[in-house]
Structure 1
Amino acid sequence: MNTSAPPSTRPARAWSGFGSLVCGLVLTAGHLATGYLVVVAYLADPVGPWDHETVAHSDFAAGFGLALSALTALLTWVFVKAEWLRRWWYGVPALLAAVALLRLTLLAPEL
């Protein structure tokens, strides 16, 4: 008895693996960009009470990182819905969003 899949479904499985690879690479690039912005936001340290520019740059980097994490979360939702990726991919944008939000609120640089 032959239990292998019919030939018509074999290409779909091959494309599924390729789709997973492409989706993973796209999300990894987005997570690296978001992580870079969040790290830059945390590295910004004002020199003194007159250094409003550094605080503004830190806020911009953290806000843009938060927006990018929302975008990668939406892309993750699309890719998981298409069954190209697994659900654990939701954790990375959630963690990056939480870290960026902390920098914007509780851990904001003080003048």
Structure 2
Amino acid sequence: MLGVPYSVELNDIGLFVSKGLTGPDFVQIVKDQLDQLYEDSADSGRVMALALHPFIIGQPFRLRYLDQALEYIAHHPGVWLTTSDEIAAHYTRTTAPVQGSD
């Protein structure tokens, strides 16, 4: 069993509903998170999980901010835009020991 990091801090429910942040707040938080993780990744890989729910981030008045955040992420060289399943598969393929090889 593998666990892929899940960030409570970048969960749209927590940001918009619990904390009452705005769309521009969301964009800035995503940028700050990516910038720090990008800097940290000079030595090893990092995972930035965005927990998004269509009924929250999919509201018409929030979509432009999601677009801005994703544009910022997508334009960083070396960023792998992927899913948790693809991360787990990559990890298993490249790092995890083969079961029964002990």
Indicate the structure with greater helix content.
Answer: 1
The TM-score range, normalised by the shorter chain, is 0.3 to 0.5
User: When the two structures are superposed, what TM-score results if normalisation uses the length of structure 1?
Assistant: 0.36
User: When the two structures are superposed, what TM-score results if normalisation uses the length of structure 2?
Assistant: 0.39
